[in-house]
Structures are given as structure tokens and as C-alpha cells.
């Protein structure tokens, strides 16, 4: 090899090395900047979501993670492209892998989809008392991306897959500020029904937990073989519903007996449906 050929080879090697070094430096800069930007945007999303009163706190960690890793995936693809890797083939491989994983984890993906719908539409939220009909009754402890955990009224915990919750009727006892309490009393035929109605109405009108608006209601709602069925309805703050329901059940019999109204010998008071 002549001296001129050797010189050209060294010039080619140096230029190639410089080009590779430049690409490596640019790729490293893109990676570092992209990582920093992803963290900054993630913190921004978390801060905005936390301050918003319309976003459930449960969704904040998921929104943060999705935002951060979406940016990082784009950054990684850009870095590989800068290094000369064919990104089209990478995207195709990732798509095929995602499809295979999706087919293998079909049930898990159903739970994720149901979790997203629960977090987006918010039929239940952490801290609310709900009944997932046929599945669980209690206070919502955590709404996760895969599972939802409840503290049941007896103090035990139950965890349900999100797909079961999304596919079931949900009764939410805490969403509204007020809730209606209801009892039913049997008054035998021949007794003074007007007196019974007046005494029961006075009972709810003077109860400290019964709200004046909506107005309480006391009425004859049906007839049985040996008695008339009287229904008493009163509204209370949601937090006081149980106490009002219990007090009306406890006081109704005493109030009627004190007024001289005789009651049937069995099952004088019935909890409303």
C-alpha cells in the first residue's frame, strides 16, 4: 500500500469515526433531554390532575405513568433512528409483540379497559359507600387499573376484578348529600288510623335528623288481611341515614302505644324495601 493510499484510508477512518462519534453524542443528548422532558411533563400532569376537582385522585398515578412512558418510547425510537437502526422494523416488531401479548392477556386487558372506564366515568370513587349488586357491599378503598378493593360493612376486605364491577349494577349510597329513610307499620282495622298517622307524622317532624325539605311523608300505602300498612318516609343527610332509619324503627311502636293505638301481636314494624 502506497503512502497516498494509506493517507486516504486514515482520512476515511477518521471521518467515519467522527461521524459515528457525532451521531453518538447527538443520540445521547436526545436521550438525556427526552428523559428530562418526560419527567417534567409527568410532574406537570400530576400537578394539574391533583389540583383539578373533576379528576379522581385514583387516576393521577396512571396518567403520570402513561404520559412519562409515552414520551420515553418516542425518545428511544428517535435515538435508534439517529444511530441508523431501521425504526420501521422496530415498530413492526413492537406491534407484533403487542398483539401477541394482548392475545395472551385478554382477560387482563378486559380488566384494564374496565378500570379505565371506571376511572373515566366514575360510577364509584374512593371513600364512597356502594353496593356492586351480587358482588360486594362496602366502602371503596381503592380503584386500581386491574382491581378494585372494598372494605365491607363487616370490616373485611374484598378485591374484585374491574371487569366484574363494570359488568354489574352499582348502587352508590354516598354520591348525593341526602338519602331517604323508610319504615312500614301495621295498624289493625278498627284502630284510629287518623290518630296513628298524626302521631307518626309528629314523630318525624320533631326528629332532629329528619330534614324539613324534602318534606316527610306519612301515608296508608296498602292493606293486609288484618291491618292497614302505613309507610313513613323522611329524608336525612347521607351520613345520618342509618341513625334516622334505626330511630324511626325503634320509636314507631312506642309512639303508637303511648297514643293508645293497639298494634298486631307479631311483626308490628317492618323495614321498607
* 91 contacts 131 by C-beta, under 8 angstroms: no
Alpha carbon distance 202, 107 (integer Å): 56
CA angle at 121 for the pair 117 and 126, rounded to the nearest 5°: 95
Could you tell me the domains of the chain? 3-104 (1.10.287.1260), 123-172 (2.30.30.60), 178-271 (3.30.70.100)
Tally the residues of the chain: 273
Q: How confident is the model at residue 117 (pLDDT cuts 50, 70, 90)?
A: confident
- Mean predicted confidence (pLDDT) in 94-105: 60
What pLDDT does 218 receive?
A: 95
| Helices (H), ranges, 52-187 | 59-82, 87-104, 106-121, 162-166
Q: Is the peptide bond between 91 and the residue preceding it cis, with omega within 30 degrees of 0?
A: no
At 207 the pLDDT is: 93
pLDDT at 268: 46
Judged against a pLDDT cut of 80, whether residue 87 lies above it is answered with no
Average pLDDT of the chain to the nearest whole number: 81
Per-residue pLDDT averaged across 253-260, rounded?
A: 91
Amino acid at each position: 500500500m502506497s503512502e497516498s493510499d494509506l493517507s486516504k484510508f486514515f482520512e476515511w477512518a477518521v471521518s467515519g469515526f467522527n461521524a459515528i462519534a457525532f451521531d453518538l453524542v447527538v443520540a445521547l443528548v436526545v436521550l438525556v433531554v427526552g428523559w428530562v422532558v418526560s419527567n417534567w411533563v409527568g410532574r406537570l400532569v400530576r400537578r394539574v390532575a391533583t389540583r383539578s376537582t373533576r379528576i379522581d385522585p385514583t387516576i393521577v398515578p396512571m396518567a403520570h405513568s402513561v404520559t412519562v412512558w409515552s414520551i420515553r418510547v418516542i425518545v428511544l425510537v428517535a435515538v435508534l433512528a439517529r444511530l441508523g437502526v431501521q425504526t420501521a422494523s422496530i415498530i413492526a416488531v413492537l406491534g407484533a409483540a403487542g398483539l401477541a401479548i394482548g392475545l395472551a392477556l385478554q382477560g387482563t386487558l378486559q380488566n384494564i379497559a374496565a378500570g379505565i372506564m371506571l376511572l373515566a366515568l366514575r360510577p364509584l370513587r374512593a371513600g364512597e359507600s356502594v353496593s356492586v349488586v351480587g358482588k360486594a357491599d362496602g366502602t371503596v378503598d381503592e380503584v386500581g387499573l386491574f382491581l378494585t378493593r372494598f372494605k365491607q360493612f363487616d370490616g373485611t376486605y374484598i378485591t374484585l376484578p374491574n371487569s366484574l364491577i363494570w359488568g354489574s349494577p352499582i348502587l352508590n349510597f354516598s354520591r348525593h348529600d341526602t338519602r331517604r329513610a323508610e319504615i312500614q307499620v301495621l295498624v289493625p282495622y278498627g284502630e284510629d288510623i287518623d290518630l296513628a298517622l298524626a302521631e307518626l307524622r309528629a314523630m318525624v317532624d320533631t326528629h332532629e335528623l329528619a330534614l324539613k325539605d324534602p318534606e316527610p311523608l306519612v301515608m296508608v300505602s296498602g292493606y293486609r288481611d288484618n291491618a292497614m300498612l302505613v309507610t313513613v318516609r323522611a329524608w336525612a343527610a347521607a351520613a345520618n341515614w342509618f341513625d334516622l332509619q334505626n330511630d324511626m324503627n325503634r320509636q314507631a311502636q312506642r309512639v303508637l302505644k303511648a297514643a293508645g293505638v293497639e298494634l298486631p301481636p307479631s311483626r308490628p314494624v317492618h323495614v321498607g324495601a
